[in-house]
Structure 1
Amino acid sequence: MNVPGFVWVLTIIAVVGLLLFDYVFHVRKAHTPSIREAAVWSAGYVGVAVLFGLGVWVFGGTTMGTEYFAGYVTEKALSVDNLFVFLIIISSFKVPHADQQKVLLFGIVFSLIARTGFIFLGAALINSLAWVFYIFGFILLVTAGNLLRPAGSEDRTADNVIIRIAERLFHTTDEYDGDKLTTWVDGKRVLTPMLLVMVAIGGTDVLFALDSIPAIFGLTQNVYLVITATAFSLLGLRQLYFLIDGLLDRLIFLSYGLAVILGFIGVKLVLHALHENNVPFINDGKPLHIVEISTGLSLSVIIGVLVITVIASLLSPKGRAQNAVSGARRHATAYLDEGYETDPAVREQTYRKLLSEEEQIKKLPNRYRAAIRDEWELMDLLRRAHDKHRESSG
């Protein structure tokens, strides 16, 4: 189904309008969003995406509606996994809590622009070269294989090629100046770490596109659906970051679930490539009349795998243990850094979370306590956080 030009224009205006609304009413003034604020706006953006999908279903038909929802759910799941890396990058650069929203919004805008370019490039390749489906399928199968060997949240690192290149290109001061990108030091204008963080977030997201774009093209080749599903999966990602920050480490089976989904879509792409085959050394360049996986079945598999993955993760004792340890380490580090959060009420809330997680750690079975990496270092970190709290309490 061809999408009229005026629909494209209205869609672009709507997406840009949502981004501007997000900036003007939530991000422009630096603050730490509450759980309630993050929950309300996360639900709001999901609601907008669902309403849009229902509109696609009504005006575009069942096939388009199913393809949109399959693409949206897949991209949303991949974006949640990407939040792990965003969390590591933001933590490693010690971005003040109140300024993290602007970093995330920049990452979302940069991602929308970059991925739009990748989508049009991918569509052009698919239209002219049918064998590209083989390439996309291979990429997803390799990615799925890599996800079957996930690193634990404590083993994740922000040290990647994008950050290393950025550190060589940009000379920055170690101190933040609010959310400014430049500041004055000894009479000279220098770059603040804020710019380096934005480069790291934006560049890392380009790497994420290498699996997300082939994945959604495996579900639909309609460029309008690919772009809108991608855009709506990214909108609200900032709020989702603050909402599930404390649950990220709990989703210990997410990588396995994503591996199944990407592997499934990879097989779907290869089957489609065989069905449309024109590669000379495969069946003499003739299409193979084989069964293809329907979009309806794809949507059912994607939702089913995600539901099982999330439930299994939330019920897992190992997940609860990992969540307590990672949370305690993160909250203790944040509490000790007075520049990370300046609001006394929020600092006290961070300390209360630390106490709760510490109690959970004390109750862990020995097999989970033994698996804690650098336990003595963690205990020392907790002790210093307690000392800091006693000093501030007078």
Structure 2
Amino acid sequence: MVSVGSPLLWSLFAAFVVLALLIDFFALNRQGAHRVSMKEAGIWTLIWVAVSFVFVGLLWWGLGGMGADAAARAMANDKALEFITGYLIEKALAVDNIFVFLMLFTYFAVPPEFQKRVLMLGILGALVLRGVLILVGAWLIAQFHWILYVFGAFLLFTGIKMWWAAGQEPDLDNNPALNWLRRRMKIAPDYDGERFFTYKDGVKLATPLLVVVLLIGIVDIVFAVDSIPAIFAITTDPFIVLTSNIFAILGLRAMYFLLAGMHERFHLLPYGLAIVLVFIGSKMLLIDIYKIPVAWSLLGTAAILGTTMVLSLKIPPKAGEAQKLRGAYPFASKEKKGERE
């Protein structure tokens, strides 16, 4: 499979990701548990977006975007456009992750000062999962071209399913993953700081915080399976696929705190994401008949998401349409909320 990723580029990218994570962890440990303000979240969101565009600018320049060779300039332009389109799609799909994270945090009454560390662990899990799945996906496409049609059909199905589920109230009480964890773990009814395990009457129990971390890991798997085929509809270059995914994920934690208080304002956004998935899935299914230019994919995705957000602000949600986040309860304590299993 053809890729612009030279050993030097891969090494520099890997070094940057490691450095970014180390800085993030250092800042997290130094600040300790604290409530993230909108100002802090906004600043970090802008920083991550700026870093992403600095990266694509350097990539464009390194591939010959400023050179005299017309072929090199054309390739640099194409790869930069592929990165930006993939980054936008992955960033948009990450919004759905954020709303699920918000639902989990609300359901389990995770104190705001603990949410930052939980998200950091979730992002680490997402980075590993994306890396593995992207390499597997790239290998499958290189070996079996027809797998693109499978990815396209899957995205089409996912988009239709997302449209159908938009506006419906999620039912965590009957969630299979949560019920599976309940059957296999002894869970404490209350938090014990940022600990994942605690003791009660001499018995070791998992805290609700550990359950939230595990559920976020499951969410990462589900959304990785949904989003990775979408980026392969834009480009099959493993370097562009991986870098656009990773940069979109690195800013996920800051974006969560920025959007957490605005989820009800964009009540139509799930419909827009559903349309984007159907559009990308259709593009993949038509790849051998008509290849939709990357620029059109970028413009189409931006137009769909922008229109959806504007309409969300102009059209108030109907009664019962907006997702009602459930009040949290100590789910392991049946005597407080009655039988739930």
TM-score grouping bracket, smaller chain normalisation: 0.7 to 0.9
**The residue matched to 1:148 in structure 2 has which SS?**
helix
Match of 2:38 in 1: 35
Match of 1:212 in 2: 227
Match of 2:302 in 1: 303
Amino acid at match of 1:42: T
Match of 1:389 in 2: none
Q: Larger Cα Rg: Structure 1 or Structure 2?
A: 1
Query: How far apart in 2 are the matches of 1:225 and 1:46?
Result: 16
Match of 1:235 in 2: 250
Shift of 1:34: 1.1
Give the 3 Å change call, closer, same or farther, for CA 306–238 of structure 1 in structure 2: same
Measured against aligned partners, the alpha-carbon deviations of 1:49-93 in whole angstroms (never above 9, x if no partner) come to 121122223223011001101100000000011111111111111
From 152, 171, 193, the equivalent of 1:157 is 171
From 72, 80, 86, the equivalent of 1:65 is 80
Give the 3 Å change call, closer, same or farther, for CA 302–208 of structure 1 in structure 2: same
Query: How far apart in 1 are the matches of 2:61 and 2:138?
Result: 25
**The residue matched to 2:96 in structure 1 has which SS?**
helix
Amino acid at match of 2:184: L
Match of 2:237 in 1: 222
Q: How does 1:45-64 map to 2 (within 5 A)?
A: 45-60=48-63, 61-64=76-79
Give the 3 Å change call, closer, same or farther, for CA 197–259 of structure 1 in structure 2: same
Amino acid at match of 2:36: P
Measured against aligned partners, the alpha-carbon deviations of 1:157-212 in whole angstroms (never above 9, x if no partner) come to 33433222222222121121111111222233322121111100001110111210
Q: TM-score, normalised by structure 1?
A: 0.75
Query: How far apart in 1 are the matches of 2:16 and 2:90?
Result: 19
Runs (4 or more) in structure 1 with deviation over 3 Å come to 319-323
Shift of 1:99: 0.3
Query: How far apart in 2 are the matches of 1:139 and 1:46?
Result: 29
Give the 3 Å change call, closer, same or farther, for CA 298–151 of structure 1 in structure 2: closer
Shift of 1:321: 10
RMSD: 2.3
Measured against aligned partners, the alpha-carbon deviations of 1:135-173 in whole angstroms (never above 9, x if no partner) come to 0000011011112223326x1233433222222222121
Query: How far apart in 2 are the matches of 1:212 and 1:318?
Result: 27
* 1:292 and 2:291 are equivalent in the alignment: yes
* 1:108 and 2:111 are equivalent in the alignment: no
Match of 2:285 in 1: 270
| Contact kept? 2:97, 2:219, Cα under 8 Å | no
Query: How far apart in 1 are the matches of 2:206 and 2:320?
Result: 40
Question: Higher helix fraction: Structure 1 or Structure 2?
Answer: 1
Q: TM-score, normalised by structure 2?
A: 0.86
| Contact kept? 1:140, 1:263, Cα under 8 Å | yes
| Contact kept? 2:87, 2:247, Cα under 8 Å | yes
Query: How far apart in 1 are the matches of 2:15 and 2:61?
Result: 21
Unmatched runs of 5 consecutive residues or more in structure 1:
276-289, 338-394
Amino acid at match of 1:100: Q
From 188, 191, 197, the equivalent of 1:173 is 188
**The residue matched to 1:145 in structure 2 has which SS?**
helix
**The residue matched to 2:166 in structure 1 has which SS?**
coil
**The residue matched to 1:190 in structure 2 has which SS?**
strand
Moved more, 199-208 or 142-151: 142-151
Match of 2:159 in 1: 144
Q: Percent identity?
A: 37
Shift of 1:10: 1.6
| Contact kept? 2:192, 2:207, Cα under 8 Å | yes
Shift of 1:214: 0.5
